[in-house]
Amino acid sequence: MFKVFKLKSAIATLLTLGMIAAMCVSVRFTNAYAVYFNLTPRLVPIYSVEREDKLISVTFDCAWGTEHTDDILAALKASDVRATFFMVEFWSKKYPDYVKKIDAAGCEIGTHSSTHSYMSKLNAEEIKMELSASSNAIKEVTGKEVELFRAPFGDYDDELIRTATEQGYYTIQWDVDSLDWKDLSASDIAMRVINGVKSGSIILMHNNGLHTAESLPIILETLKNRGYKFVPVGELIYRQNYTIDGTGRQQPAQ
């Protein structure tokens, strides 16, 4: 009886090991291993940057209106902070004076596309047109090349990131969402940002959020008092010899 039990136990163990081996082979060759171990082969933008120096970036998407932009620039100036603004082509063409103001304030400007569409639905040629048209509109005002790109709605796929990279752009996402576009109160916006930031974070805000400008002094001074230093995204990211993990965290290559 004991020998029969040992035999059955051995067979069960062998079957279990066989199943595990089969699963490993399946996972390995279907790329599922990459997802499971957070090494997804899908291309991802830069959501944040692996840093230990407490550098962070605050960014503003510009697609609608300018009513609160002067107050945002005033708050940035008062705290001696340079930010990054991502502009849609139709916004930059409608408000060239604000493009000039933002550039003159020492802030960085990236493209937020030409038409603010869902760019994962576009083919490579359409993506190139969106990027070049919007970047040219900005360059016509500032005289500066555009090298940063943020996809509208945070919507992307492999072709978008691949095409943007081939055209010389770094695709930038965010890891701290202020949700200021929901017209949260200034204190709620500030708490979301302050509690979400870590070294290397990229903060998402909007130039026309109802309480965005009001929240900025709280955010900027609180984080500066905690030892954080604000720099434009172009000074936060690594330009070469880097990797991006499955969470979008950019890291220096080992």
What are 169-214's pLDDT values in tens digits?
A: 999 999 999 999 999 999 999 999 999 999 999 999 999 999 999 9
What is the share, in percent, of the chain residues with pLDDT greater than 90? 83
Q: What is the pLDDT of residues 101-121, one digit of tens each?
A: 999 999 999 999 999 999 999
Would you kindly state where each structural domain of the chain is located, as residue ranges? 2-36, 48-252
Q: What is the pLDDT of residues 203-226, one digit of tens each?
A: 999 999 999 999 999 999 999 999
What was the pLDDT predicted at 9? 54
What is the DSSP annotation of 19-88? HHHHHHHHHHHTTHHHHHTT---S---B-EE--SS-EEEEEEEE-S--TTHHHHHHHHHHTT---EEEE-
Top CATH class of 48-252 equals alpha beta
Look up the pTM and report it.
0.84
pLDDT at 35 over 60: no
Mean pLDDT of 155-173: 97
Report the b/e string of 187-226 with b at 16+ CB within 10 A: ebbbbbbbeebebbbbbbbbbbbbbbbbbbbbbbeebeee
Report the Cα 169 to chain-centroid distance in Å: 13
Asked if 234 and 84 touch (Cβ cutoff 8 Å), the reply is: yes
Report the Cα 110 to chain-centroid distance in Å: 12
Report the b/e string of 92-117 with b at 16+ CB within 10 A: bbebeebbeebbebebbbbbbbbebb
**Measured between alpha carbons, how far is 151 from 111 in angstroms, rounded to an integer?**
8
